[in-house]
Amino acid sequence: MERQVRVCGGPMTAGLRSGAGETSRRQRQRGLPAALILLTLLTCCVRCAESAKPSNIILILADDQDVQLGGMTPMKKTKALIGDAGATFVNAFTVTPLCCPSRSSILTGQYPHNHEVRNNSLTGNCSSPLWQKGPESATFPIYLNKQKYQTFFAGKYLNQYGKKDAGDVGHIPPGWDQWHALVGNSQYYNYTLSVNGKEEKHGDSYEKDYLTDLITNRSLHFLDDRSPQHPFFLMLSPPAPHSPWTAAPQYQKEFSDVKAPRDGSFDKPGKDKHWLLRQPINPMPNSSLTFLDNAYRKRWQTLLSVDDMVEKLVKKLDSVKELDNTYIFYTSDNGYHTGQFSLPIDKRQLYEFDIRIPLMVRGPGIKPNQTLQAPVLNIDLAPTILDISGVNLSSVNVDGQSFLSQMAPSLRNGSARPFFLVEYTGEGHPTTDPACPKLGPGLSQCFPDCVCEDAYNNTYACVRTLDKEHNLQYCEFADSESFVEVYNLTSDPHQLENIVKKVDPAVLQAMNQRLIKLQSCVGNSCRDYK
């Protein structure tokens, strides 16, 4: 057997090397310039180096985009260019249905009880100094940076980011080479960015300021200006379809006849549910119906610009010859509801419409037109991205697991989780909300018709079992009643009936023990499914 050596990243036998030497001598005898031979060898080395470069990665994170109520319907280009070209996960979930704690889970790969971001407020640890000193110093972009990835961020980061009490615009989280982050919560016009630590104010000119398009344009510039020798990671976080639902001018007349879907749990009374679900007016007044239909339509309109973003990115990647070596993830931080159980609009609830999220991925090794059933969580994004980049996952403190094996089994072996945790810490005001004085203090997100979407004791933890045999949800509230909700989603996909009083007590006890274990899990123990 001939001895193997490595030249320019590729194997070549010693015998071939000597043959190459004979060829070289004959070429020189024929007068072939030595410079041309050198150029040929250098070209070989460059091509070998390029083929050995790790894959690029792009994560597009929408804001409040549901999947249960038709939230992906406007995204025709996205479904064609990412979903049809790769894998669509039909059981993708957020581990907490609210922006800041969910985004913190995406960045860290951890459940909220470990990164300790509880809600969207500074006191709830959203982009707080405590977050910056702790979990933010171990987010996945840091590991990518160490792997020589060129990293780029644009759009909404965390709800309190850039505020004076949260480090101001000068704070750039570690791991990012290019930083174009929105100060505060989602806006489309009249906002401030931190551009690499410098304040940049924007007005209301569509051409210069519309945030979704600005994110798109700056990402395209980054792809033009990057170094081709190293891989890249882009995280693009547009405001759509979050309120205030400001569509681009060319899309403001689209979907004029669209209304929120009236099926499933729409305008159903929240009987047998936590008290917060029992307080809405039922049936809903016309004022609420008009409001939520308008919101639903405008949400779709804002998403058309995100759809354009995906198309432009794919075209750019193709033009710079990087499309075949790039993974593109498309997802959202949480779901949304418009009229379910007579709640007008919001998220924050434990039901499928708020915790299910869109997730599609295309990239090397992923066969097209796959529809995958395996449960995947937003805490799995960080380990999956790091897995693609070549990081040894045993060296990273994450609660999630890579799902590369699910969408590209030729690249990785792995198994699907049978159950997981969903947890949420309710927000409320210590004083009575003027919009809803009859309900007293402790509530928040109240509408004029006195429908409150959140409260201090809307604090819950759920274990969701999802495998071939079981499709169950068991939830406990941290309130004075220790209220419990249980649903069989096989027979009751819209969660209309709380079956806690009908379930075998042994099943309840088993679910309770599983929940207790998950609520205190850290790292490996979050992936122990025995």
* CA–CA dist 525, 530 (Å, integer): 10
Catalytic hit among 99, 100, 126, 462: 99
Helix (H, G, I), strand (E, B) or coil at 81: helix
What is the CA 406 to chain-centroid distance, rounded? Answer: 17
Mark whether 99 is an active-site residue: yes
Say which residue the tokens 């403001």 belong to.
252
Length of the chain in residues, anyone? 530
| Ordered DSSP codes for 215-252 | HHHHHHHHHHHS-TTS-EEEEEE--TTSTT----GGGT
Helix (H, G, I), strand (E, B) or coil at 236: strand
Q: What is the 3-state secondary structure (H, E, C) of 130-157?
A: HHHHCHHHHCHHHHHHHCCCEEEEEEEC
Q: How many CB atoms lie within 10 A of CB 462?
A: 24
* CA–CA dist 358, 335 (Å, integer): 8
* CA–CA dist 374, 133 (Å, integer): 35
* CA–CA dist 102, 111 (Å, integer): 9
Q: What is the 3-state secondary structure (H, E, C) of 460-482?
A: EEEEEEECCCCEEEEEEECCCCC
What does the block give as tokens for 478? 């941290």
Name the residues annotated as catalytic. 99
